Amino acid sequence: QVHMVTVSPILGQKHRAVLCVFEDVTGHEQVEQMRRDFVANVSHELRTPLTALLGFIETLRGAARDDAAARDRFLNIMEREAGRMNRLVRDLLHLSRVEAEERIRPTDPVDPVAVVQSALSSLKPLAEAHGVMLDLKTDSAPRSVPADGDQLMQVITNLTENAIKYGGADRPVTVRLSREVLAKGPMLRIDVVDRGEGIAAEHLPRLTERFYRVDAHRSREKGGTGLGLAIVKHIVHRHRGTFRIDSRIGEGSTFTVYFPEL
């Protein structure tokens, strides 16, 4: 937007001039709009389980008071809804922490093999519950990278958890570590590969947006918060890395992250 002000009434007829002020209101308004959307989304995501909890409390006080079987069933649902709120708050805290540190580039060397092994062993119970076999492949001996170890772990955890949840039962998930030289220099490359149903091309550019889901019902059913890939994107950005998604309908998806070695 351009603001035009004629200065002659202020400075007198001698100074016939027009002052132009260029203001990038689009950027500012877009940021404001994104902030408003985010607050609305968070409120909605929290309100849904909260409404369910309040409803069940009321039912437990009334109709289900003397029905032990119903009470157990409702308590299970309440536990699930409270768990959902808990995960949402946890992911919101992760996201805000990563954003707050985004300008500080980590420098401590981290061994990627140890981090991946630790992430995969924590995910073993989830993989078993889905009948998924987790497979770790290291193509060439990966070198240490300057990283925040917890955040590198979170990237691998979020991507592998998605591969398990959306990759389809009884299909293996492979995490591959390798080295690759990109234009930016030598990089650690991590691929998380699933053989699930894949993601249609039109969704790919939006997947890292907060709360964007291909199928909201399915994501909620699987305990998703819609923030996992947004967190991954911010962590990769903080490490000056690269994030890529390749997916084919009916064949599966590969999520690739690169972390600079130096």
For position 126 contacting ligand ADP by CB under 6 A, the verdict is: no
Task: Give the type of residue at 173.
Answer: V
CA distance 111 to 186: 16
Q: Which residue among 134, 187, 194, 243 contacts ligand ADP (CB under 6 A)? A: 194
For position 127 contacting ligand ADP by CB under 6 A, the verdict is: no
For position 174 contacting ligand ADP by CB under 6 A, the verdict is: no
Question: Which residues, 141 to 160, sit near ligand ADP by CB under 6 A?
Answer: 158
Q: Which residue among 52, 187, 219, 236 contacts ligand ADP (CB under 6 A)? A: 219
CA distance 125 to 221: 18
Q: Which residue among 142, 196, 241, 260 contacts ligand ADP (CB under 6 A)? A: 196
Tokens of 19: 């002052």
In the complex with ligand ADP, the residue whose CB is nearer, 64 or 207, is 207
Q: Which residue among 123, 155, 207, 236 contacts ligand ADP (CB under 6 A)? A: 207
Q: Which residue among 225, 234, 236, 257 contacts ligand ADP (CB under 6 A)? A: 225
Q: Which residue among 199, 235, 236, 257 contacts ligand ADP (CB under 6 A)? A: 199
Q: Which residue among 155, 253, 257, 260 contacts ligand ADP (CB under 6 A)? A: 253
What is the four-CA torsion angle of 134, 82, 228, 141, rounded to 10 degrees? -30
DSSP state for residue 227 in the 8-state scheme: -
Q: Which residue among 110, 132, 147, 229 contacts ligand ADP (CB under 6 A)? A: 229
In the complex with ligand ADP, the residue whose CB is nearer, 64 or 194, is 194
Buried b (16+ CB within 10 A) or exposed e, 24-58: eeeeeeeeeeeeeeeeebbeebeeebeebbeebee
For position 163 contacting ligand ADP by CB under 6 A, the verdict is: yes
Q: Which residue among 49, 142, 224, 241 contacts ligand ADP (CB under 6 A)? A: 224
For position 162 contacting ligand ADP by CB under 6 A, the verdict is: yes
CA distance 229 to 158: 7
In the complex with ligand ADP, the residue whose CB is nearer, 151 or 253, is 253
User: Given the DSSP bridges, would you call strands 185-193 and 173-182 parallel, antiparallel or unpaired?
Assistant: antiparallel
Part in contact with ligand ADP (CB under 6 A); list of ranges 46-54, 75-83, 107-115, 191-199: 191-199
- Contacts with ligand ADP by CB under 6 A: the residue count is 21
Per DSSP, the residues of 163-190 read HHHHS-TT--EEEEEEEEEETTEEEEEE
Given a contact cutoff of 8 angstroms between Cβ atoms, the answer to whether 243 and 230 are in contact is no
Cα→Cα distances 119→84, 144, 154, 158, 159, Å: 22, 16, 8, 10, 11
Nearest approach in angstroms of CB 22 to ligand ADP is 37
DSSP state for residue 48 in the 8-state scheme: H
∠ CA 220-223-226, rounded to 5°:
65
Binding residues vs ligand ADP (CB under 6 A): 158, 162-163, 166-167, 194, 196, 199, 207, 213-215, 219, 224-230, 253
